Amino acid sequence: MASRKKPAPAPRSTAGRKDAPRRGIGGEPQHQAGGAHPTMTTAQGIPVPDNQNSLRASPRGPGLLEDFILREKITHFDHERIPERIVHARGSAAHGYFELTRSLSKHTTAKVLTEKGKRTPVFCRFSTVAGGAGSVDTPRDVRGFAVKFYTDEGNWDLVGNNIPVFFIQDAMKFPDLIHAVKMEPDRGWPQAGSAHDTFWDFVSLMPESMHMVAWAMSDRAIPRSLRMIEGFGIHSFRLVDAEGGSTFVKFHWRPKLGLQSTLWDEALKLQAADNDFHRRDLWEAIDRGDFPEWELAVQLFTEEDAERFPFDHLDPTKLIPEEIVPLTVIGRMVLDRNPDNVFAETEQVAYCPANVVPGIDFSNDPLLQGRLFSYLDTQLKRLGGPNFHQIPVNAPKCPFAHHQRDGHMQMEVPRGRVAYEPQSLDPEGPRASEARGFRSFAERAPDDARKGRVRPASFADHYSQARMFYRSQSAIEQDHMAAAYTFELSKVGTPHVREAIVGHLRHVDEALAQRVADGLGMDALPAAPDPAAPILDLEPSPALRIIDRMKDTLKGRSIAILVAEGSDRAQLKALKRGVEKAGAHVTVVAPKLRIRLADGKAMDADAQLAGTPSAMFDAVASVLDPDEAARLARDPGAVDWFRDAFNHLKAIAACGGTRKHLFAAAKIKADAGVVEPADVAGFVDAAKGRFWKRSAKQG
């Protein structure tokens, strides 16, 4: 019998070691003279000339498919996670419909935007960006806002966020942005948060991020409910009319319930109380028939209008203030049905900005141009192959016909011998239609257009709109932003990164920079970097605030009433009836889930006090027997229930026992936001907002 040699042990890999030599062609080490940085290359070893800008037909022209550097970079990034999404992994969704209330037939041929009164089915998904699928709902983060319209002309995906601008100007930088904000790869934390070195290091070196960072540090990033956020398409799109003419458009979703956010301390307590707070809130509202609703509004403007703007509308780090181009409401979206299965629908839904219908077209926004490629590539990997469009949540609801065949997870059984075109063997086979088909706007290229990795000079202003956003906020919201910057930067361990961000903030607002520097204990303000373009003092835009735009309503809000043994049933019923009549949802909370009221009859509470902190509600009330209130005053959880509600600036309908015992234990001094439970009308009015003067007194 022939003997077998024992195989030699495989050499240990040096990949990833700091002392591992860089190897070039043929495995030979690449030595860098004088300690210089190695030349960046593609995965094929081809030197990269510019890692900041994608290849474009002209400075403001479209991106080019031949840009193999961009395609390789984004392709690798898109395939880095399976099976959950790389970003927007934690999502909540619902079915509903869109109803057009004003036709845009003057501007577009898209039936979904021209047939007034028509209802189009939709599937809407909300999400956080940075965290994984198993993270939490309430971190400081951007929220995704994606809508799939199942139109008669095919699926239209309006894929945006609850913030109208973005961190970067070119899709080339998207993998870098997400790598920076995700968990640091050597330690695996933090999850679902930007308060760490790599994120702030990245944005400190990317001044174009300053506008979006300001939004992320504002109250927009800690919403009260997904039902109370705005949505934005972010980019400029084109509407194309029957003659081939074009009008630029930006899309806005406006919540019928108005904007609402939390306080930072409140967001932290919500995370501790319920990791699923937002998805539970959305599900339960729809389940009880309180269907969330948004208006769809558009900003319409021409090429000539755009030339007069003091910014470039193709720059995704810029917005168009409503004071310059007002919003026109054209329809409404109502979400009225929860998913039947989270995996089959919420997780498998595949959005792509490239999914548009005839009459809607793209602009040359360089971030949008990259997204048109990236989303489809991502779905191919995440959902297993090219037939993901056959998954029910992704399938169009209109007739469709094509010659695509076979592939992984093919679920259809195409018939016939013909799978190509042109063909003469099947008279029923699908053919292209110039009359009905999608038509791209015939944009004329500039006479001096030269392709290259360039960024137009009109993109160079990185601070003017960040300054406008900050100075548009109310004093209270500015306080919140300063605190957010301070908190986030306090988690950054690298001093020069903290100093660089404060230096950038000097271009946004000198007083803001000073407040953050003081909060971080800096002895002096760091130097501000040289701006790439003159910084403009743009007119403030009051439409960018939240506090001044809160709706005077209790609809869609959640109110808690605390009861215990011996509580008065009649007073509880009157208070509950009045609050529900105003449109709010009431949760009755008690120390135990079953208690006996003053009339001797038992009652089942909706929630237990120990597991239901007041942070989960917009306002709270109490109907307590005085002796029971005295007993609860010895319970730290009950004391915190009222202390948190007061410190979170909420209205409180406090009974006599609560004021005497629990308020005393919590050291609460009643103000105009504290009313008697018998004053139902007063409580309803007070619960519509927060008591911001209480915040100033606390400060």
Instruction: Provide the 10 A C-beta neighbour count for residue 12.
Output: 7
- CA pair distance 382, 81, nearest whole angstrom: 8
- CA pair distance 97, 121, nearest whole angstrom: 4
Is 661 noted as a catalytic residue in this protein? no
DSSP class of 231? E
Residue (of 116, 128, 118, 127) closest to 149 by Cα position: 118
Task: Tell me the three state secondary structure of residue 602.
Answer: strand
Task: Tell me the three state secondary structure of residue 501.
Answer: helix
Task: Tell me the three state secondary structure of residue 514.
Answer: helix
- Alpha-carbon dihedral of residues 278, 282, 283, 286, nearest 10 degrees? 170
Calculate the alpha carbon distances from 684 to 259, 583, 645 in Å.
Answer: 18, 10, 16
Tell whether 220 is in a known binding site: no
Q: Where are the alpha helices (DSSP H) in 407-554?
A: 464-472, 475-490, 495-508, 510-520
Task: Tell me the three state secondary structure of residue 522.
Answer: coil
- CA pair distance 184, 203, nearest whole angstrom: 15
Tell whether 56 is in a known binding site: no
Catalytic residue among 95, 107, 155, 161: 161
Q: Can you say whether residue 207 is alpha, beta or left, with left for phi > 0 and alpha for psi between -120 and 50 degrees?
A: alpha
Catalytic residue among 88, 313, 462, 504: 88
- CA pair distance 491, 498, nearest whole angstrom: 10
Tell whether 375 is in a known binding site: yes
Is 51 noted as a catalytic residue in this protein? no
Q: Can you say whether residue 583 is alpha, beta or left, with left for phi > 0 and alpha for psi between -120 and 50 degrees?
A: left
| Interacting residues of 146 by C-beta distance below 8 A, sequence separation 6+ | 88, 124, 125, 126, 127, 157, 158, 159, 160, 351
Residue (of 411, 300, 306, 297) closest to 364 by Cα position: 306
E strand intervals along 64-199: 91-100, 119-128, 143-151, 154-161
Q: Can you say whether residue 204 is alpha, beta or left, with left for phi > 0 and alpha for psi between -120 and 50 degrees?
A: alpha
Gyration radius of the chain's alpha carbons? 28
- CA pair distance 324, 465, nearest whole angstrom: 14
Tell whether 371 is in a known binding site: yes
- Cβ proximity of 677 and 624 under 8 Å: no
Annotated binding-site ranges for heme = 85, 125, 174, 371, 375, 382
Binding residues: 85, 125, 174, 371, 375, 382
Q: Which residues are catalytic, by number? A: 88, 161
